[in-house]
Amino acid sequence: MLRIALIALTLVSADAAAERQLDDISPYSHYRQAKQFADQGQWQQAVERYRQAQQLVNARIDLSLYQLRGIGGFDSDPQAATERLTKEAENGSARAMLILSSLFQHGHFGCPIDISKAQKYRLAYQQISQQKQLEFALKADATNRDNEQRNKSNI
C-alpha cells in the first residue's frame, strides 16, 4: 500500500514539475528572438529559435493531453473531454483552442479529419497570442516612456 502511494506521489510531483518548467519558459520569447535574428539576417539562429519555440508549444500540448487523460477524460470519455475543451475554448482559453486544433488536425475525432475546425481553433489561438504580444509590447513601451520621463526630470 505504501509502495503504491509513493508511486502515485512521484507521478504527481513529476507532472507538477514538468508543468512548472513549461510555465517558466515561454515560447513567445523564442519567437521574438527568432524574428530579431531574421531581421539581422542571421537565418541559422532564427531557424533554431523558431524550432525551440515550436518544441515548447508541442510540449505544452502534450502536457495538456496528459492532464486530460489523468483526470479520466480523453481516453475514457472523449465526448465529455471534447465538450469541456470546447466550452473552455468558447470562453477564450488559448490552451483549449490549441489542444482542440491539434486534436482535430491529428484525427483524434475519427475520419475524415476535420481541417476546418482545426483551422478555426488554430486561428483563434493565434489571434489571442498576437493580442497578448501586442499588450506586452504596449506595456513595455509605456514603461520605457515612464522611465525616460523620470530620467529627464532627474536631470
97 confidence band (pLDDT: 50, 70, 90): confident
* Average pLDDT estimate for 42-53: 82
pLDDT at 11: 46
Give per-residue pLDDT as tens, 51-73: 777 777 766 666 666 566 555 45
**pTM for this entry:** 0.36
Cβ–Cβ under 8 Å, residues 46 and 34 = yes
How many other CB atoms sit within 10 Å of the CB of residue 64? 19
